[in-house]
Amino acid sequence: MDQNGKWLLCRLGNVWYGLDLSLVQEIVYNPALTSLPALGRSVAGIMDWMGRQITVVDIAVAGREGRPAPDIAQGQMPVVVLKAGLAPADLSAPVHINGAGSATAKAGGDALIGLLVDEVGEIISRQAGDKIEIDAVLAVTLKSVNQAFEYNDEIIFTLNCQELYRAIA
């Protein structure tokens, strides 16, 4: 990740996260989500984005305990659409076998993930805050978090979108 770039700050539950701005594709307000309860509480549903079906995750479900559940299906919460690396190759697609007898498959393009957020904050420079070391035990719990920093008296966790995508793929 480009350390000279910018972060988009988003609040999920009671926690602020920094998203690599170069990975943010769009912020969708009032999205229409199709609920998929069998996939667990962290998957808020699926939404159509520019003709593609993308999974929308809600990593703040634990932070919503004790509060009225938002009406996610009615789109009261924004979704940040993020690039999360390359999607795996489509194994059902035809595979080209070259003259040497080896097969090649194309990756499925950009992997996309939607992140359900409570609030979209400001865009800040990566140098805006002081870096904080993450405890090893906490790092295991927060697998999709790269680092943390302090900004305006808040601790901001930076998300690893590829790890988040791998967790639901």
Mean pLDDT, the chain, rounded, equals 73
Where on the phi/psi map is residue 109: left (φ > 0), alpha (ψ -120 to 50), or beta?
left
The tens digit of pLDDT for each residue in 65-109 reads 433 445 554 557 899 998 887 655 443 344 334 444 333 334 456
The tens digit of pLDDT for each residue in 53-66 reads 998 988 776 544 43
Distance from the first to the final alpha carbon of the chain: 22
CA-to-CA distance for 70 and 10, rounded, in angstroms?
Answer: 17
pTM for this predicted structure? 0.71
